[in-house]
Homo-oligomer: A and B are copies of this chain.
Amino acid sequence: MSPSPGTQPGTLTGTLERVDASIDDALSRLFALLRIPSVSAQPEHAADCAAAARYLRDELLACGFDASIRDTPGHPMVVAHDLGATTGPHVLFYGHYDVQPVDPLALWKTAPFEPTLITTESGRVEITARGASDDKGQVMTFIEACRALRAQTGALPVRVSIILEGEEESGSDNLRPFLEQHREELRADIALICDTGMIAPDQPAITGSLRGLVGEEVTIEAARRDLHSGLYGNAARNPIECLCTILGTVRDADGRVTLPGFYDGIAVPPDGQRAAWRAIDPDDNGLLGPVGLAVPAGEAGFTALEQTWCRPSFEINGISGGYEGEGFKTVLPARATAKVSFRLVPGQDPERIRAAFRAHVNAALPSDCRARFTPHGGSKGIALPPDGPFMDAALGALSAEWAPNRAVVIGGGGSIPVVSDLREVLGMDTLLIGFALDDDRIHAPNEKYDLASFHKGIRAWVRVLDALAS
C-alpha cells in the first residue's frame, strides 16, 4: 500500500521532514514530563500528578488545542480539542500521564525520574525512566505528531479531541463517571489509544483484542496479635501458611484455574488465527527467551503467545506477612496479605470471577481464620472489530512507515479498561496503535522506550492522521 495522499499534496512528506528535524526538541519535552514523578497509587505523589496534568495542558495549548484541566475526586483529567478540520472522521485520543510505583528502587541503574539516554551494545538508543514507555513516551508521540502537522499546515487533517487521565495505574476509578458526565463533549467517530506494542523493533502491530482484569487483595487473620513460634507454633493457626495453601490451589498442576465456571463462555480463536500467531513465535522463545525463561507456565496445549493473548490467567502480584527484614525472627504473625489478579478474555464476567475467588478462599479457610477482601478494579476482556475503513487506513499508514515490513493485527495480554468504557459509554470502537517493545520493562525497574519507537511513533501518527483524512 502506498502512503495516503493526505489533505494537501506535499503535506505528508513535509511534515515527516519536520518531525525528523525537530526530534531533539520533542525529546526535551518528553524528558520534562518524565521528570515529574506522577505515581498515582501513592498519595504522597498527588501534587506530582497534578503537575503532570498542568504540563500536558500547557503543551497542548502550545500545539494550538483548546486544552484544560478537569478536576475529579481523584487525580485530574486533561481534555483538549482541535475541531477545525472539515473533512474526515472525528478522533478521540486517550492516554494516561500517571505511572507505576518504582520499587524496588535499588534495582534501578539510573534514577527513575531522571530520564537518561542509554546506547545498548547493539546500537539501540533507549530512553530510560519510569513512564518512558507506559505511557508518557507513547502519549507524546501523538501530541508531537499533532504539533508537527499544525506547524507544517496550520491545521490538523481531522478533528482531534484528547483525554489524558491520571489514574490508569491505580484503578481508573473516576474515568467512567467522567466519560458519562461528558458524553456529548467526548463522543467521536473512533478512539485512538497509544498504550500497546509492536511485534518487533521493525514490525508494527495493531492490537485487536485485550484481556480484562480482576484485581483483589486478600488478608487472612488468625490470632489477635503476633505470637512467638516457640510458645504457640503448631497449636496456633499460621495465616501465612493458610494463605499459601489457598493461593497454591487456585491453579492445578496443568496450569488451569480451578475456580468453578472460570472458563465458561470463552472461545478458543479459529485455527487460522492460531496458526498465524504460532508463526510469529513458533518455539515460545520470542516471548520468553529475552527474560530468561523457556517453558510456558500456563495451561498445557497453548503457546506462550496464546496464553497471553487469548487465555485467562491467575497471578499473585504481591505477598506479605511476618518478618521480612534481615536475619530471622521466629514470629507467628497475626495476618498475611496477598494482592492477586485475574486476566480475563471476552466472555468472562469480572464480578462473577471475583465472587468465585472469594468463595474459594472462604471455603478453604480453616478454623480460627478470617478473610478480608479489598477489590482493586474489574474490567471485561474485549475483542475489537478485525476490519473496517479505519483499521485498513491505520494498517496502511503503519506499513508505510516500516516498509517493507507489514503491520499485523495481534492479541493483547494486558488490560486497557477504557476500551470497554469507550464502547459502553460513548459507543465508540478503538484503534490500539502503540510502539512499545516487549523488552521495555514496563512496571519494572529500568523501564525504557526506544528512541526509535518515539521518533518513528511520531512519524507513524502523522501518517495515520493523514490517512484517516482521506
Contact = CB atoms under 8 A, between A and B. Distances in A.
Contacts of A298: 234-235
A278 to B, nearest CB: 14
Interface string A399-413: 000000000000011
A319 B319 contact: yes
Contact of A413 (B230, B305, B307): B230
Given A234-B308, A240-B319, A245-B248, A377 B103 contact: no
Interface size class of A (residues with CB under 8 A): 35 or more
A470 B228 CA distance: 38
B308 A323 contact: no
Nearest to A367: B295
Given A224-B292, A235-B296, A229 B313 contact: yes
A244 interface: yes
Interface string A154-178: 0000000000000001110000000
A322 B316 contact: yes
A114 interface: no
Contact of A316 (B235, B244, B312): B244
B322 A319 contact: yes
Max count, chain B CB within 10 A of own CB: residue among A237, A284, A330, A368: A330
A414 interface: yes
A217 B317 contact: no
Contacts of A445: 225-226
Interface string A313-357: 111111111111111111111001111010100000000000000
A161 to B, nearest CB: 26
A241 interface: yes
Interface in A283-323: 284, 287-288, 291-299, 304-305, 307-308, 311-323
Could you say how many copies of this chain the assembly holds? 2
B215 A330 contact: yes
A315 B297 contact: no
A328 B244 contact: no
A316 B315 CA distance: 21
Interface stretch (A145-153, A435-443, A458-466): A435-443
Contacts of A250: 241
A211 interface: yes
Max count, chain B CB within 10 A of own CB: residue among A255, A319, A326, A336: A319
Interface string A196-216: 010000000000000101010
Nearest to A245: B248
Nearest to A100: B329
A432 to B, nearest CB: 12
A261 interface: no
A452 interface: no
Given A211-B230, A244-B319, A297-B368, A326 B235 contact: no
B328 A41 contact: yes
A234 B327 contact: no
Contacts of A223: 291-293
A37 interface: no
A376 interface: yes
Interface string A75-110: 000000000000000000000000011010000000
A43 interface: yes
A42 interface: yes
A56 interface: no
Interface in A126-153: none
A249 interface: yes
Interface in A409-458: 412-415, 438, 441-446
A134 to B, nearest CB: 8
A383 interface: no
Given A293-B222, A330-B317, A444-B225, A415 B235 contact: no
Given A170-B328, A231-B438, A444-B225, A297 B414 contact: no
25 contacts: A41-B328, A101-B329, A170-B328, A225-B444, A228-B442, A229-B317, A229-B341, A231-B413, A233-B341, A234-B299, A234-B311, A235-B304, A237-B293, A240-B318, A241-B316, A246-B248, A288-B368, A297-B367, A315-B330, A317-B328, A318-B322, A319-B321, A320-B320, A323-B339, A330-B414
Given A231-B414, A235-B304, 18 more contacts: A41-B328, A41-B329, A170-B328, A197-B231, A215-B330, A227-B444, A229-B341, A231-B438, A232-B308, A233-B308, A234-B308, A236-B288, A236-B297, A237-B295, A237-B297, A245-B249, A318-B322, A319-B321
